[in-house]
């Protein structure tokens, strides 16, 4: 049914799926019947690391020669870890744990990785509001931030809180007043990531107050938040008044000298400085979390090469000089006339990053453990869309800038029908820096792992890479691994219970039973057997069992059939040749003309997928930025892209006014926070009837 290499890949996925299902049911000596789980990760007997720093190896798909060990989980009391640094000259680490959004109980934690399991962390500073940034200063002291301040302290002191010395205060925080007088009670991007250069200056992220600065149309004035002497959406730089160390501020003291270094940056949560910056031509890089658009593949995130005095586009331009349509009037006259083409003022991105990838961590690797990474740029993508949840490796030139390649340059898409896509803007394929993936498969796999959520990173004295992973409440350490890496896990394997439920829906629907028989006899048995395994069929098997066997086989490949929305399933895309992968079966483009009834069989496959789950098919409304869905208790479960179809099982959800309950979404939309038992709910006003 497909090219030999594709068939082998598919068989490998099937074998892995069957092993997971079989071990979950029967157990094995290497994998218990009920494996221990921490923060959603299945913990087996394998370890990652050694010499006193050996931790349970977690099933994350990684580059050959690397493994990931789980150091801390929610069982250790982590709530929302965001950043991590090692204390110079010591083996302990400091972690900033924000606690969560809209909370004031953030903490700084001390991690001793050599301590016994369950006793590795302790609170050292509490009751902080939005702690996020951590860095080691030129004085080798530990620096941290809240939403309004930057301070240093001694994490190893008997009372670390008593050693706090504030060096910068009064930064725009959660509550801000814009230059036009508008008051914002909860700024969207108030976290203060910061970084030192070698002269002791501090570069601080001052995030925008909103996604795109749009209040109400028509937009005729420049964005007030980015204007004036204290703009948001910018990078501020503070300079020590003498030497390279900031003095502690006493009550009433003013901040050290400050400059607006760069503007037009929506949220600079990833910053990296070359060791020779600010020497002429050396890199200061920023990973831009670009504005949201309903399209899952637009706009791209960015790597910006930061230069003093430049404007990087927000909210007027995105991608490579694409004007924001909402600001058409602003770009036609006044100070921003033709701004996106004005190279004297606006600086386009150095490179595009995968769209909606959400870069929240960036550093140059310097360490002895991985010489093949030395000097290269690492970027952690936190985003929950299929382009996020990964760790990228960029080759850089002698001054620290990622090397740009001509188009097409492709990026990876997890669990997508099209596994990679070329970087594109409105003008077509675009140049970009090519990358490798240190972590590639970090999408959710039922029973094995949650979807990854990397934020802060640091390189330890021994060269290991440490990652704070917020949504799963973990700290992960990357070490050297020997041998070939395990085969990648299949995308979103359904559990046997979920397959039983879906198969039962079909068995109880006479129309779908007939469609399934036609698909099995006229498609699977006629064109697929011998290419994509045997679909579980056995010689002499009763006809009544064959349909269910084939259905269960296909349902085991989550992503091939998306109940309720056949357009999103890889089965339809491959059968009709709609994606980048080869059409199946080979020569299938001729079958609608040469084989009577073949087109109808393809339609039956679509109807089967679309009507498999009892309920009302509805479409996610185009346009709104937020398409998140929740559990009955309001736990966030994920996000569904605009125009996707869901099956609503309760239009007016019992016990949850204003919400509709819908059937379990595809795993690519789940974030690992919820279970089927919780149920999945979405606001009624985000749904529209299916035309």
Contact 607, 617 (CB under 8 A): no
Q: CB–CB of 579/687 below 8 Å?
A: no
In this structure, how many other beta carbons lie within 10 angstroms of the beta carbon of residue 555?
20
Furthest-apart CA atoms within the chain: distance in Å: 88
Residues contacting 288, CB < 8 A, separation 6+: 265, 266, 267, 268, 301, 302, 303, 304, 312, 314, 349, 353, 359
CA angle 336, 342, 347 (to 5 degrees): 105
Average pLDDT over the chain, rounded to an integer: 89
Q: Give the pLDDT mean for 389-402.
A: 98
- Give the whole-angstrom CA distance, residue 16 versus residue 2: 19
End-to-end C-alpha distance for the chain, whole angstroms: 33
Lowest mean pLDDT among 200-214, 368-382, 410-424, 462-476: 410-424
What is the average per-residue pLDDT within 27-41?
58
Element (H, E) at 456: strand 454-459
Per residue in 560-607, pLDDT (tens digit) is 888 998 988 878 888 888 865 567 887 788 899 999 999 999 999 999
* Mean pLDDT on 538-559: 85
Q: Dihedral, CA atoms, 31, 35, 36, 38, nearest 10 degrees?
A: 100
Which run of H or of E encompasses 18?
helix 4-26
For residues 508 and 614, give the distance between their C-alpha atoms in angstroms, rounded to a whole number.
10
DSSP code at position 333 = S
More reliable by pLDDT, 533 or 478 = 478
Whose structure tokens read 């590639």?
A: 440
Tally Cβ neighbours within 10 Å of residue 344. 6
Which residues fall within 8 angstroms of residue 219, CB to CB, at 6 or more apart? 326, 327, 328, 329, 330
What residues are paired with 648 via a beta bridge? 616, 662
Reported as a pLDDT band with limits 50, 70 and 90, residue 447 is: low
Residue 497: exposure state from Cβ atoms within 10 A (0-12, 13-18, ≥19): exposed
Helix 496-507 with 543-555: angle, nearest 10 deg: 130
Torsion from C-alpha of 419, 424, 426, 431, nearest 10 degrees: 180
Is pTM beyond 0.85? Reply is no
Residue 216 binned pLDDT confidence (cut-offs 50, 70, 90): confident
Distance between alpha carbon 669 and the CA centroid of its chain, in Å? 11
DSSP string across 177-221? E-TTS-EESS-TT----EEE-TTS-EEEEE--SSSS---SSS--S
pLDDT of residue 570: 79
Stretch 633-637: mean pLDDT, rounded? 87
Per-residue model confidence as pLDDT tens digits over 451-473 = 899 999 999 999 999 999 998 99
The DSSP output letter for 11 is: H
User: What is the model's pLDDT at position 408?
Assistant: 97
Q: Give CA–CA dist 105/103, Å, rounded.
A: 6
d(CA 550, CA 556): 10
Reading phi first (left if > 0) and then psi (alpha if -120 to 50, else beta), residue 328 is in alpha
Q: Domains in the chain, start-ordered, CATH in brackets?
A: 4-26+492-610 (no CATH), 36-480 (2.120.10.30), 616-689 (2.30.30)
Residue 527: which residues within 8 A CB-CB, separation 6 or more?
A: 1, 585, 588, 591
pLDDT confidence bin for 415, thresholds 50/70/90: confident
User: pLDDT of 324-365, one tens digit each?
Assistant: 999 999 999 999 999 999 889 999 999 999 999 999 999 999
> For 494-513, how does the pLDDT look when each residue is reduced to its tens digit (9 = 90+)?
778 889 999 999 999 999 99
Residues 153, 165: Cα–Cα separation, whole Å: 6
Contact present, 308 and 262 (Cβ < 8 Å): yes
pLDDT at 642: 82
Alpha-carbon torsion 527, 531, 535, 536, what sign?
Answer: positive
Tens digit of each residue's pLDDT (9 = 90 or more) over 65-124: 999 999 999 999 999 999 999 999 999 999 999 998 867 889 999 999 999 999 999 999
Residues with Cβ < 8 Å from 242, sequence gap 6 or more? none
Between 388 and 19, residue with greater pLDDT: 388
Name the band, by pLDDT with cuts 50, 70 and 90, for residue 531. low
Q: How far apart are CA 276 and CA 274, in angstroms?
A: 5
Close Cβ partners of 207 (under 8 Å, ≥ 6 residues apart): 187, 188, 189, 190, 191, 232, 233, 266, 267, 268, 269
pLDDT of residue 127: 95
Kindly give the interhelix angle for 496-507 and 510-519, rounded to the nearest 10 degrees.
Answer: 110
Burial of 158 (0-12, 13-18, 19+ CB in 10 A): exposed
Q: Report the share of the chain in percent with pLDDT over 70.
A: 91
Q: Is 500 helix (H, G, I), strand (E, B) or coil?
A: helix
pLDDT > 80? residue 255: yes
Q: Are strands 424-425 and 420-422 parallel, antiparallel or unpaired?
A: unpaired
With a CB cutoff of 8 Å and minimum separation 6, the contacts of 77 are 121
Percent of the chain with pLDDT over 90: 68
φ/ψ region of 51 (left if φ > 0, alpha if ψ in -120 to 50, else beta) reads: left
Look at residue 528 and give its three-state secondary structure: helix
Residue 26 structure tokens: 């029967």
Lowest-confidence pick of 198-207, 213-222, 248-257 = 213-222
The residues with which 136 forms a beta bridge, in sequence order, are 142
Q: What is the pLDDT of residue 451?
A: 87
């Amino acid at each position: 049914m497909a090219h030999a290499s594709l068939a082998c890949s598919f068989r490998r996925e099937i074998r892995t799926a069957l092993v997971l299902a079989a071990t979950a049911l029967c157990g094995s000596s290497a994998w218990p019947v009920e494996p221990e789980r921490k923060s959603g990760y299945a913990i087996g007997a394998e370890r990652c690391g050694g010499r006193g720093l050996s931790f349970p190896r977690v099933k994350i798909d990684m580059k050959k020669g690397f493994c990931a060990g789980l150091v801390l989980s929610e069982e250790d009391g982590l709530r929302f870890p965001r950043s991590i640094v090692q204390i110079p000259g010591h083996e302990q680490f400091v972690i900033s744990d924000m606690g969560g959004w809209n909370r004031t109980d953030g903490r700084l934690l001390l991690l001793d990785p050599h301590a016994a399991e369950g006793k590795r962390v302790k609170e050292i500073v509490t009751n902080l509001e939005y702690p996020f940034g951590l860095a080691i200063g030129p004085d080798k002291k530990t620096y941290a931030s809240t939403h309004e301040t930057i301070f240093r302290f001694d994490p190893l002191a008997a009372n670390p809180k008593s050693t706090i010395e504030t060096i910068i205060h009064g930064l725009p925080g959660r509550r801000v007043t814009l230059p036009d007088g508008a008051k914002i009670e909860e700024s969207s991007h108030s976290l203060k990531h910061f970084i030192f250069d070698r002269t002791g200056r501090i570069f601080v992220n001052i995030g925008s107050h909103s996604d795109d600065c749009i209040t109400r149309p028509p937009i005729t004035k420049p964005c007030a938040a980015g204007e004036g002497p204290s703009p948001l959406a910018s990078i501020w730089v503070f300079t020590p008044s003498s030497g390279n160390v900031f003095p502690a501020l006493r009550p009433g003291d003013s901040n050290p000298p400050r400059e607006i270094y760069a503007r037009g940056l929506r949220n600079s949560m990833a910053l990296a400085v070359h060791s020779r910056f600010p020497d002429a031509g050396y890199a200061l890089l920023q990973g831009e979390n670009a504005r949201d658009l309903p399209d899952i593949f637009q706009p791209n995130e960015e790597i910006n090469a930061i230069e003093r005095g430049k404007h990087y586009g927000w909210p007027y331009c995105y991608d490579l000089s694409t004007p924001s349509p909402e600001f058409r009037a602003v770009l036609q006259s006044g100070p921003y006339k033709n701004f996106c083409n004005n190279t004297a003022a606006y600086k386009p991105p150095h490179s595009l990053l995968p769209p909606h990838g959400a870069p929240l961590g960036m550093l140059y690797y310097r360490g002895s453990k991985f010489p093949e990474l030395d000097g290269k740029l690492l970027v952690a993508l936190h985003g929950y869309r299929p382009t996020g949840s990964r760790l990228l490796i960029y080759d850089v030139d002698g001054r620290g800038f990622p090397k740009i390649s001509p188009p097409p340059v492709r990026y990876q898409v997890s669990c997508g029908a099209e596994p990679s896509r070329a970087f594109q803007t409105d003008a077509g394929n675009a140049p970009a820096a090519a990358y490798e993936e240190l972590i590639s498969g970090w999408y959710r796999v039922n029973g094995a792992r949650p979807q990854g959520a990397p934020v802060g990173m640091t390189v330890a004295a021994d060269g290991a890479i440490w990652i704070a992973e917020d949504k799963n409440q973990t700290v992960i350490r990357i070490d050297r691994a020997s041998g070939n890496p395990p085969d990648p896990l299949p995308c979103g394997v359904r559990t046997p219970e979920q397959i039983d439920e879906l198969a039962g829906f079909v068995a109880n629907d006479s129309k779908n039973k007939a469609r399934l028989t036609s698909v099995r006899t006229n498609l699977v048995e006629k064109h697929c057997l011998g290419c994509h395994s045997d679909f579980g069929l056995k010689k002499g098997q009763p006809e009544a069992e064959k349909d269910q066997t084939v259905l269960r086989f296909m349902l085991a490949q989550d992503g091939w059939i998306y109940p309720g929305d056949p357009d999103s399933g890889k089965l339809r895309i491959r059968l009709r040749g709609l994606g980048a992968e080869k059409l199946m079966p080979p020569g299938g483009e001729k079958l609608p003309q040469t084989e009577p009834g073949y087109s109808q069989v393809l339609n039956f496959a679509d109807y089967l997928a679309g009507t498999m789950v009892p309920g009302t098919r509805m479409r996610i409304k185009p346009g709104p930025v937020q398409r998140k869905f929740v559990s009955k208790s309001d736990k966030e479960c994920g996000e569904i892209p605009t125009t996707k179809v869901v099956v609503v099982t309760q239009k007016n959800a019992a016990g949850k006014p204003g919400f509709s309950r819908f059937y379990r979404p595809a795993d690519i939309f789940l974030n690992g926070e919820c279970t089927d038992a919780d149920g999945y709910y979405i606001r009624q006003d985000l749904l529209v009837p299916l035309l």
